[in-house]
Amino acid sequence: MCGIVGYIGKNPALPILFSGLERLEYRGYDSFGFCVLNNNKIDFLCKEKGKISDHCHLRDSKSVGTVGIAHTRWATTGLVTKENAHPHCDCKEEIFIVHNGIIENYKILKENLVKEGHKFISETDTEVLAHLIEKYFEGNLEQAVKLALREVRGTYGIAVVSPKYPNKMVAARMSSPLLIGVNSDEFIVASDPSAIITRTRQIIHLDDDEIAVLTPDNFVISKQERESSSWSVRTKKIETIEWNLEEAEKSGYKHFMMKEIMQEPSTIEDAIRGRLYFEGGNVKLGGFENVEDRLRDVSSLVLIGCGTANYACKVGEYMLEEYAGIPTETDIGSEFRYRKSLFSKNAAGIFVSQSGETADTLAALREMKEKGLLTLGVTNVVGSNQARETDAGVYTRSGPEIAVASTKAFIGQLTTLALITVYLGRQREMALVMGNRIIDEISKLPELAQEVLDTKEDIKRIVGKYIDYKDFWYIGRKYNYPIALEGALKLKEVSYVHAEGTAGGELKHGPLALIDENCPTIAICPSDSVYEKMISNIEEIKARNGKVIAIATKGNEDIKKIVDDVIYIPKTLEMLTPILSVIPLHLFSYYFADALGKDIDKPKNLAKSVTVE
Which residues are annotated as catalytic?
2, 608
Smallest distance, Å, CB 384 to ligand G6P? 9
Smallest distance, Å, CB 161 to ligand G6P? 30
Q: Please identify which residue in 194, 282, 406, 415 interacts with ligand G6P, judged by CB under 6 A.
A: 406
- What does each C-alpha distance from 575 to 107, 279, 352 come to in angstroms? 50, 22, 18
306 binds ligand G6P (CB under 6 A): yes
Smallest distance, Å, CB 310 to ligand G6P? 8
Residue closer to ligand G6P, measured from CB, 90 or 357: 357
The residues in 338-367 that bind ligand G6P, with binding defined as CB under 6 A, are: 353-355, 358, 361
CA angle 580, 456, 489 (to 5 degrees): 60
Continuous H helices in 428-475:
432-453, 456-466
The residues in 386-405 that bind ligand G6P, with binding defined as CB under 6 A, are: 404-405
The residues in 13-42 that bind ligand G6P, with binding defined as CB under 6 A, are: none
**44-51 CB contacts, 8 Å cutoff, 24+ apart:** 44/14, 44/68, 45/87, 47/82, 47/83, 47/85, 47/86, 47/87, 48/82, 48/85, 49/80, 49/81, 49/82, 49/85, 51/25, 51/602
Q: Tell me the per-residue interface mask from 492 to 531 with ligand G6P, x by CB under 6 A, - otherwise.
A: ----------------------------------------
Asked if 87 and 126 touch (Cβ cutoff 8 Å), the reply is: no
Residue closer to ligand G6P, measured from CB, 191 or 353: 353
Smallest distance, Å, CB 69 to ligand G6P? 25
376 binds ligand G6P (CB under 6 A): no
Cα(126)–Cα(117) distance, rounded to whole angstroms? 18
Residue closer to ligand G6P, measured from CB, 154 or 305: 305
Q: Which stretch binds ligand G6P (CB under 6 A): 115-123, 208-216, 301-309, 455-463?
A: 301-309
Q: Please identify which residue in 309, 534, 552, 566 interacts with ligand G6P, judged by CB under 6 A.
A: 309
415 binds ligand G6P (CB under 6 A): no
Q: Tell me the per-residue interface mask from 175 to 194 with ligand G6P, x by CB under 6 A, - otherwise.
A: --------------------
Smallest distance, Å, CB 406 to ligand G6P? 4
Cα(410)–Cα(354) distance, rounded to whole angstroms? 8
Cα(609)–Cα(375) distance, rounded to whole angstroms? 21
453 binds ligand G6P (CB under 6 A): no
446 binds ligand G6P (CB under 6 A): no
Residue 471 DSSP SS3: strand
Q: Tell me the per-residue interface mask from 579 to 608 with ligand G6P, x by CB under 6 A, - otherwise.
A: ---------------------------x-x
Which residues, at least 6 apart from 171, have a Cβ–Cβ distance to it below 8 Å?
Answer: 6, 157, 158, 159, 160, 178, 180, 189, 206, 211, 212, 214
Smallest distance, Å, CB 247 to ligand G6P? 18
**293-296 CB contacts, 8 Å cutoff, 24+ apart:** 294/348, 294/374, 294/391, 295/348, 295/374, 295/423, 295/424, 295/427, 296/427
Which residues, at least 6 apart from 183, have a Cβ–Cβ distance to it below 8 Å?
Answer: 9, 199, 200, 202
Smallest distance, Å, CB 452 to ligand G6P? 21
- Classify each residue of 64-85 as buried b or exposed e, where b means 16 or more C-beta atoms within 10 Å of its C-beta: ebbbbbbbbbbbbbbeeeeebb
Classify residue 56 by burial, with Cβ atoms within 10 Å: 0-12, 13-18, 19+.
exposed
Total residues interacting with ligand G6P, rule: CB under 6 A? 16
Residue closer to ligand G6P, measured from CB, 9 or 177: 177
385 binds ligand G6P (CB under 6 A): no
302 binds ligand G6P (CB under 6 A): no
Where along the sequence are the contacts to ligand G6P (CB under 6 A)? 306-309, 353-355, 358, 361, 404-406, 606, 608-610
